[in-house]
Amino acid sequence: MKFVHLSDLHIGKRVNEFSMLEDQEYILTEIINIIDMENTDCVMIAGDVYDKSVPSAEAVQLFDDFLCRLARRKLQVFVISGNHDSPERIAFGSRLMNMSGIHMSPVYSGHVDPFEMHDEYGTVNIYMLPFVKPANVRSFENQKEISTYTDALRAAVAEMNIDTSCRNIIVTHQFVTGAMRSDSEEISVGGTDNVDASVFECFDYTALGHIHRPQNIISQKIRYCGTPLKYSFSEADNIKSVTVAELNKKNNLSVRTIPLVPKYDMREIKGTYAELTLKSTYEGINCNDYMHITLTDEENIPDAIGKLKVIYPKIMKLDYDNKRTRSAQHFDEGCEAESKSPIELFTEFYQKQNNQPMSQEQLKFSEQLIEKIWEDEA
């Protein structure tokens, strides 16, 4: 069985006040072309279909058009809700759409029934588990202690009663421990949304959504396909792609990617105003790309954005990097340090050293320790 794995379309998203609908319409057509070229059996969309839980009419219309184009190709399509989606809105009309091969995940109700597909090697069970929080699962698992996301996912998977003699695929939307994030994602404080990868060890393929950078977790069996478009400048150097996977007989999985070329890319350029306005600088690039421009002039250029937009009309971000801004940054950091309490300084130091914030237990211990030190000095 050959399938395409997509996620995090974020239809209707605005980046730095620029609507991405035109870009999204273009890239969805590119995805359709890849699906036609690959002659796939099904498409899996692992959540965050929309950027908002109440999407605009234009966003809904664009996704509706995409689904209709997939349905006309007689494909089986599996769509789940992500943390940006409304589960109820994604589930609306799901029983009716099933007849067209479009399978929308229902609101989580404590149990997930698989959809069965068949090929020359037998049955493939496809489980659709939308984004859930511990509280969602806990309400259906009264006898179990569920306090973390790992607890919640482990309980939800246990309820599926997976037959490991068959091939099993899960489509879900969670943050699996070890994944590399981007600036365009929502981050939970303290990494409380982490799910241990061992939860998915009983599946032959885990089609993940939520993280915007394409990547495998431990092995190709657990994979984030990433967003089809770049949604922050932290992704400027990323190559976006479509994940195509083939699951033949049991334990025979192959995964590859097909690059996606956007209508307008995200680009970062740096130099003086004079350098960036030279024809020799910009004639080799697409000036209609979304730009983050860093000027290195020592003095501010009057109406810099207005002037630069004559050449680069889609400037999303403009800043300066010079002696003045660097010294101002160091001065601000010094002033901030003087105005902060010892516990604030220590928590910032801990986070910089460990790349994660302190837990509540660590924070409480640190506060008690600092108080004791102050008492001893007094």
27: CATH? 3.60.21.10
- Among candidates 83, 78, 66, 62, which has minimal Cα distance to 11? 62
Indicate the range of 15-19, 100-104, 337-341 predicted with least confidence.
337-341
pLDDT for 366 equals: 83
Long-range Cβ contact pairs of 340-347 (< 8 A, separation 24 or more): 342/370, 342/374, 343/367, 343/370, 346/370
Phi (first) and psi of residue 64, to 5 degrees = -60, -40
Looking at the predicted structure, is the pLDDT value of residue 353 above 70?
no
pLDDT for 225 beyond 70 = yes
If one counts every other C-beta atom within 10 angstroms of the C-beta of residue 180, the result is 11
Tokens of 45: 């969309």
- Total domains present in the chain: 2
DSSP result, 90-113: HHTTHHHHHTTTEEEPPPP-S--P
Q: Is residue 343 part of a domain?
A: no
Domain that holds residue 244: 2-259
66 lies in a domain?
Answer: yes
Distance CA 291, CA 255 (A): 33
Q: What pLDDT shows up at residue 190?
A: 45
Would the pLDDT of 354 be above 90? no
Does a structural domain hold residue 356?
Answer: no
pLDDT by residue (tens digit) across 128-162?
A: 999 999 989 988 877 568 889 999 999 999 999 99
The residue with tokens 């969670």 is 174
**C-alpha dist (Å) from residue 222 to 73, 176, 178, 227, 238:** 27, 9, 12, 16, 20
Same domain, 130 and 220: yes
**223, 240, 259 - which closes a domain:** 259
Q: Considering the chain, what percentage of its residues have pLDDT values greater than 70?
A: 91
Same domain, 226 and 309: no
CA–CA gap between residue 173 and residue 195 (Å, rounded): 11
Task: Tell me if 369 is assigned to some domain.
Answer: no
15 and 63 part of one domain: yes
pLDDT at residue 331, as a whole number = 47
Q: Are the C-beta atoms of residues 155 and 141 closer than 8 Å to each other?
A: yes
100 and 227 both lie in a single domain? yes
Higher pLDDT, 331 or 292: 292
Residues 98 and 117 in one domain: yes
pLDDT > 90: percent of the chain: 71
Burial label for 261, CB within 10 Å (0-12, 13-18, 19+), is exposed
Quote the mean pLDDT of the chain: 89
CB distance 218 to 177 below 8 Å? no
Same domain, 228 and 289: no
Could you tell me the pTM of the whole model? 0.82
Structural domain ending residue among the three candidates 225, 259, 293: 259
Whether residue 53 is contained in a domain is answered as yes
Residue at a domain's end among 259, 288, 303? 259
What is the reported pLDDT for 161? 94
Q: Is residue 130 domain-shared with residue 16, that is, in the same domain?
A: yes
Residue 332 has pLDDT above 60, yes or no: no
Amino acid 360: pLDDT: 81
47 domain-assigned: yes
Q: Where are the alpha helices (DSSP H) in the chain?
A: 21-38, 57-72, 87-91, 94-98, 134-138, 149-158, 273-276, 279-282, 304-308, 323-339, 342-354, 360-377
Higher pLDDT, 304 or 378: 304
Q: Is 273 within the bounds of a domain?
A: yes
In a domain, 367, yes or no: no
For residues 117 and 68, membership in a common domain is answered with yes
Q: Are residues 168 and 125 in the same domain?
A: yes
| β-strand partners of 122 | 119
Residues 110 and 149 in one domain: yes
Residue 230 and residue 297 in one domain: no
Q: For residue 290, what pLDDT is reported?
A: 97
Q: Say if residue 216's pLDDT is above 90.
A: yes
Greater pLDDT, 372 or 20: 20
Please report which confidence band the pLDDT of residue 60 belongs to, taking 50, 70 and 90 as the band edges: very high
pLDDT tier at 363 (50, 70, 90 boundaries)?
Answer: confident
Question: Across 150-154, 179-183, 348-352, 373-377, which has the greatest mean pLDDT?
Answer: 150-154
* Rounded Cα–Cα distance for residues 16 and 7 (Å): 22
301 and 235 in a common domain: no
